[in-house]
């Protein structure tokens, strides 16, 4: 019958597709089989309206999206360590097909990914300048694999520019750490976690200044001397971590570091975010968040000898304008260019002396691909870059409905476990 011939032609066409089925194509094929009536599959209608578009769509996704990440390392030992203990670095990353574009990945991640329930224990510690630093602890006292708190591994987490311990990407890393039996502590930058901190301190935060981070790491080591410590930083948190490692060299207790979506050259990052569409989608919003974090800063203290006007700061429309009017002056730089140069981790990568894995997406508008420090990484055996073609900024969504873990989460979990349990092999 005509219907049988159509079904046979369809099956032969499907069998002739020479590719390995993956998450995307499985779902597309199931859709075609279950949602499109068999009666439509005669020789002309089927080939014209279903099979040919399907073949084109599959080819498009296979060539452009379904590619293995590029793993680059300055040392063969670190490279082989990652291949052996972090198999995710060798797996093809399948971006969610209905939101693969970088800006959409970036914008949708906070809304489509679930927020695991986490109960923190907050601790305020005093910094050397008299200011307060807010830490949120997840102690994981029910850990079956590490029941002794004194030796339970600790994971230090650094959120992004205006992020806190309540960001979905932080909550997912806490969940992954809980599954591994580890303890977590989230370092909240001054002024972003709800506490009124700015009235007690003469400074806020920026990627170039690592004094608060050093205080936090020393505090962790002092309280848990026998526990191994590793760290993960996201976006600006990753930049701060990389700058810290570049400054400290071997003088750190961290066993390893993983960095996600870091901006390696701040000049290139800000230039990318000032393009019209990205300025509208991201830059203006982040600028308003930065202004909100400093709006309670005392005007009298702000103007006393600092050389900036808070009213002028509140009129900034871009991150660059905010930094020119506030951040660079706050930290005593002669110009904003000096501040941006000091904040760019690319200048300190050669001094990193502990294993650091860096995940970036080539389509990240916050950290453009031409500024990813491939050559600098190749010169340091302690560094490794994992570059995906897609993923946006802190996106890395995968699967049809990416409610749970992302590709970034899987990289974090495997690397954290490898560093804590097998890191001695890298010495």
Name the residues annotated as catalytic: 235, 364, 393
Token digits of residue 281:
């989608």
Residue 407 to residue 310: CA distance in whole angstroms: 41
Residue 67 to residue 270: CA distance in whole angstroms: 28
Residue with tokens 């650091």: 356
Question: DSSP 3-state assignment of 215?
Answer: helix
Helix axes 76-85, 407-422, angle to 10 degrees: 110
DSSP at 95: B
Closest alpha carbon to 176 in 105, 258, 108, 239: 258
Residue 299 to residue 244: CA distance in whole angstroms: 31
Token digits of residue 356:
């650091």
| Enclosing H/E stretch for 30 | helix 23-35
Neighbours of 216 (CB within 10 A): 22
Residue 294 to residue 198: CA distance in whole angstroms: 7
- Cα 163 to its chain centre, rounded Å, is 11
Dihedral angle at the C-alpha atoms of 221, 79, 347, 324, nearest 10 degrees? -70
Closest alpha carbon to 86 in 388, 400, 386, 403: 386
């Amino acid at each position: 019958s005509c219907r049988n011939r159509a079904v046979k032609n369809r099956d032969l066409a499907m069998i002739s597709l020479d590719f390995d089925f993956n998450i995307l194509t499985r779902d597309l094929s199931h859709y075609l089989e279950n949602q499109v009536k068999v009666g439509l599959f005669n020789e002309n209608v089927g080939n014209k309206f279903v099979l040919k578009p399907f073949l084109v769509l599959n080819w498009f996704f296979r060539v452009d999206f379904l590619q293995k990440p590029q793993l680059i390392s300055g040392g063969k030992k670190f490279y082989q360590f990652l291949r052996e203990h972090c198999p995710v670095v060798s797996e093809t990353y399948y971006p969610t097909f209905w939101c693969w574009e970088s800006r959409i990945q970036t914008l949708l991640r906070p809304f489509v990914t679930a927020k695991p329930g986490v109960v923190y224990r907050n601790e305020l510690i005093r910094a050397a300048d008299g200011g307060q630093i807010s830490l949120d602890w997840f102690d994981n006292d029910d850990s079956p694999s590490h029941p002794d708190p004194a030796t339970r591994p600790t994971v230090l987490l650094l959120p992004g520019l205006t992020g806190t311990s309540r960001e979905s990407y932080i909550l997912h890393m806490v969940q992954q750490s809980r599954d591994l039996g580890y303890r977590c502590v989230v370092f909240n930058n001054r002024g972003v976690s709800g506490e009124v901190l700015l009235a007690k301190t003469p400074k806020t935060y920026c990627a170039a200044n690592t004094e608060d981070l050093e205080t936090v790491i020393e505090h962790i080591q002092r309280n848990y001397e026998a526990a191994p410590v590793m760290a993960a930083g996201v976006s600006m948190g990753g930049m701060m971590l990389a700058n810290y490692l570049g400054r400290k060299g071997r003088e750190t207790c961290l066993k390893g570091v993983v960095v996600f979506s870091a901006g390696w050259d701040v000049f290139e990052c800000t230039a990318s975010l000032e393009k019209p569409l990205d300025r509208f989608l991201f830059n203006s919003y982040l600028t308003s968040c930065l202004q909100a974090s400093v709006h309670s800063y005392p005007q009298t203290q702000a103007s006393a000898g600092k050389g900036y006007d808070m009213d002028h700061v509140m009129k900034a429309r871009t991150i660059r304008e905010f930094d020119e009017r506030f951040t660079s002056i706050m930290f005593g730089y002669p110009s904003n260019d000096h501040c941006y140069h000091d904040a760019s981790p690319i200048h300190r990568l050669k001094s990193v002396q502990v294993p650091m894995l860096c995940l970036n997406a080539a389509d990240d508008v916050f950290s453009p691909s031409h500024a990813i420090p491939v050559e600098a990484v190749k010169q340091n055996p302690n560094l490794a870059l994992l570059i995906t073609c897609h993923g946006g900024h802190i996106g890395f969504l995968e699967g049809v409905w990416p409610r749970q873990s992302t590709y970034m989460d899987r990289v974090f979990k495997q690397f954290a476990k490898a560093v804590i349990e097998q890191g001695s092999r890298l010495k």
